[in-house]
Amino acid sequence: AQSVSQHNHHVILSEAASLELGCNYSYGGTVNLFWYVQYPGQHLQLLLKYFSGDPLVKGIKGFEAEFIKSKFSFNLRKPSVQWSDTAEYFCAVSHYNTDKLIFGTGTRLQVFP
């Protein structure tokens, strides 16, 4: 069965620090990959997605993610975080021909001014 692992459960950074959140999945077939953000008290928002093509994907708010097929990874990065990036971040995976999203456990990011 598909599963998604986010090993960083809680990350604390100062503003302007660089961010990398890990995401690994277990599935041998072709997958679609997503990162969502959930700000406190709000619903999920899509940051970026990968379906095919360039493995380096750029999303909104300065985020990007790189798909490394050999490592089954889709890590999220941002070169310089802001206090407003404080939120919960979820990685999600679906098989390429379904819409069934499986979510990772989430990473809580706290950014201090």
Partner 1 sequence: GAVVSQHPSWVICKSGTSVKIECRSLDFQATTMFWYRQFPKQSLMLMATSNEGSKATYEQGVEKDKFLINHASLTLSTLTVTSAHPEDSSFYICRPTASSPLHFGNGTRLTVT
Residues between 94 and 113 with contacts to partner 1, criterion CB under 8 A: 94, 99-106, 108
Q: How far is CA 96 from CA 8, 20, 28, 36, in A?
A: 26, 25, 11, 18
Query: Is residue 70 close enough to count as binding partner 1 by CB under 8 A?
Result: no
- DSSP letter, residue 59: -
Query: Is residue 59 close enough to count as binding partner 1 by CB under 8 A?
Result: no
**What's the closest the beta carbon of residue 39 comes to partner 1, in angstroms?**
13
**Count of alpha carbons within 13 angstroms of residue 39, beta-carbon side:** 7
The one segment of 13-21, 65-73, 74-82, 90-98 that binds partner 1 by CB under 8 A? 90-98
